[in-house]
Amino acid sequence: MSALDGLYQQVILDHARARKGEGPLPGADAEHFERNPTCGDEVTVRLALEPGTDRVRELRWEGSGCSISMGAASVLGELAVGRSLPELRVLVDAYRAMLRSRGADVEPDEELLGDAVAFQGVSKFVMRVKCGMLAWVAAEACVAELATG
């Protein structure tokens, strides 16, 4: 597989086109906006919890950007649902560690990361790590907000 095909895995391109979790979320418990000023990509992530719990009922997002940032938001929208806030934080940490591995040959935890393992190729493209992290950083901020609030 060429490096480019490693970056643009079919899973990512599919998610970037047929986006999961895209749209508004009225009555969200947390909301965070992230913008990458160098390329203009932006995303707003909203989280709603199951009433009386710390479990994610729904994660929805709105934004615009490249296939990596949009694909990553879509995968997140799918993976976040049903997780507790601490579990979501573990997921984000694992995803970040994978993206920051700079192409090192480490096996990501497929069980934990699911479709997000497709983003392993992004780690070889340092300039694109921010794209892959955009929505995930916004979700992390939502988690932090709910944890302290």
Partner 1 sequence: MTSTTDAPAASGATPASPAGGPGLSAEEVARLRADFPILDQEVSGEPLAYLDWAATAQRPRQVLDAERRFLEESNAAVHRGAHTLAALATEAYEDARETVARFVHAPADEIVWTANATDALNLVAHAFQAATLGRGGEAAARFRLLPGDEIVVTEAEHHADLVPWQELAATTGAVLRWVPVDDDGCWTADDAAAVIGERTRVVAFAHVSNVTGMVAPVEAVVALAHAVGALVVLDACQSAPHRPLDLPALGVDLAAFSGHKMLGPTGVGVLWGRRELLDAMPPFRTGGSMISTVTMEGSDYLPAPQRFEAGTQPVSQAVALAEAVRYLEAVGLDRVRAHEEALAERLVRGLAAIDGVRVVGPPAGVPRSGLAAFVVEGVHAHDVGQYLDALGIAARVGHHCAQPLHRRLGVTATTRASTYLTTTDDEVDRLLAGVAAVRGYFGVVDATAGGADGPAAGLALDGSVA
Binding site for partner 1 (CB under 8 A): 1-5, 7-8, 10, 13, 17, 38-41, 64-68, 70, 125, 128, 131
Sign of CA dihedral 81, 142, 40, 120: negative
Taking the complex as a whole, the smallest distance from the CB of residue 37 to partner 1 amounts, in Å, to 9
Taking the complex as a whole, the smallest distance from the CB of residue 9 to partner 1 amounts, in Å, to 11
- The number of angstroms, rounded, from the C-alpha of 97 to the middle of its chain's C-alpha atoms is 13
Angle of the 67-79 helix axis to the 129-148 helix axis, nearest 10: 40
Taking the complex as a whole, the smallest distance from the CB of residue 40 to partner 1 amounts, in Å, to 4
76 vs 121: CA distance, rounded Å? 17
Closer to partner 1 at the Cβ: 56 or 70? 70
Closer to partner 1 at the Cβ: 28 or 132? 132
Closer to partner 1 at the Cβ: 63 or 77? 63
Structure tokens at 98: 């994978």
37 vs 76: CA distance, rounded Å? 22
Closer to partner 1 at the Cβ: 21 or 71? 71
100 vs 85: CA distance, rounded Å? 22
101 vs 16: CA distance, rounded Å? 23
Taking the complex as a whole, the smallest distance from the CB of residue 134 to partner 1 amounts, in Å, to 12
Taking the complex as a whole, the smallest distance from the CB of residue 130 to partner 1 amounts, in Å, to 10
Closer to partner 1 at the Cβ: 58 or 74? 74
End-to-end CA distance of the chain: give it in Å, rounded: 46
